[in-house]
Amino acid sequence: MRTVLEFLAVWAAVYATTFGTYLAFGAIFNWYCFRHPERRIQKNRDGLKRRGKEIRQSAWSLLGTCFCLAGGLYAQYRGWTLFAPLELSWWSVPLMAVVSILAYDTWYYWGHRAMHWGPLYKHHQYHHRSVAPTVWSNYSDSMVDALAMQSYYLVAPLILPIPPLVLVGHRVYDHFNGMIGHSGFEFAASKWTRVPSPMVCTLFHDLHHSKFNYNYANFFSFWDRVCGTLHTDYDEGVERWETLPDGGVPMPRARADKRTPGAVAGPVSATPAE
């Protein structure tokens, strides 16, 4: 019973912190975005029509996300892992941060592609109802979808010697990066977010929502480039945002989408234009 109560306390603390910062940061960043309407990526779609639904769904799905992180941290605390976490040092912190972020991006890419596969897509389709995502869209998932993507935070501590502080730092970075990446406003486009750099900006994930079968990764474009699932307008779009810093950039010119090699088919009709 003591073990259960300890875990519930950790889970509750992680959930309260995550949902609280989701609401606070979302409100602040949303306010900032709407002071810069010229930075909106999809000019003709209003994603905020779904704001209430997305916040309510996020309150539910974050139970699963926070369960995973709390479970990973508690397993480390109880010594239930394959390897003990490394002691914090000048080399272990940056090393394990890089290892964890790269491992997570790989986990996310392949898990995300799997969720676009026909039999599993029913668990992911709710997230794609937000064709024009907003800062509130990041956690608008079904519970199965949330667990599929976020179970990394439960599994990784069991098999990798990630210090708890590094795991928490990774999750904090993922939390805010994901919300900004779903915001629908482009503030980060630069030469560092297009080829040959593997880094990405908001346009990367926004194209995933508007075009569906492209740009599956999270932090980097590496897996999409290697597997042929990077949208062909991404690099060009980033460059246009660079050359027109006032934000006078429409979405890439409409063209017949040609499926890139390795793209996963999905029921595009299941995503209404919101």
What are the boundaries of each domain within the chain?
2-270
- Residues 108-154 have pLDDT tens digits of 999 999 999 999 999 999 999 999 999 999 999 999 999 999 999 99
What is the rounded CA–CA span in Å between residue 84 and residue 163? 9
CA distances from 4 to 7, 8, 10, 79 (A): 5, 6, 10, 15
pLDDT computed for residue 246 by the predictor: 56
Of the candidates 58, 53, 50, 49, the one whose C-alpha atom is nearest the C-alpha of residue 23 is 58
Q: Return the bridge partners of 40, or none.
A: 185
pLDDT computed for residue 46 by the predictor: 87
Of the candidates 230, 170, 162, 245, the one whose C-alpha atom is nearest the C-alpha of residue 200 is 230
Task: Tell me: pLDDT of 167 over 50.
Answer: yes
The answer for residues whose C-beta is within 8 angstroms of residue 158's C-beta and 6 or more apart is 72, 75, 80, 81, 82
What size, in residues, is the chain?
A: 274
pLDDT computed for residue 1 by the predictor: 85
Tokens of 101: 């972020």
What is the rounded CA–CA span in Å between residue 19 and residue 23? 6
pLDDT computed for residue 274 by the predictor: 54
Of the candidates 10, 119, 149, the one whose C-alpha atom is nearest the C-alpha of residue 75 is 10
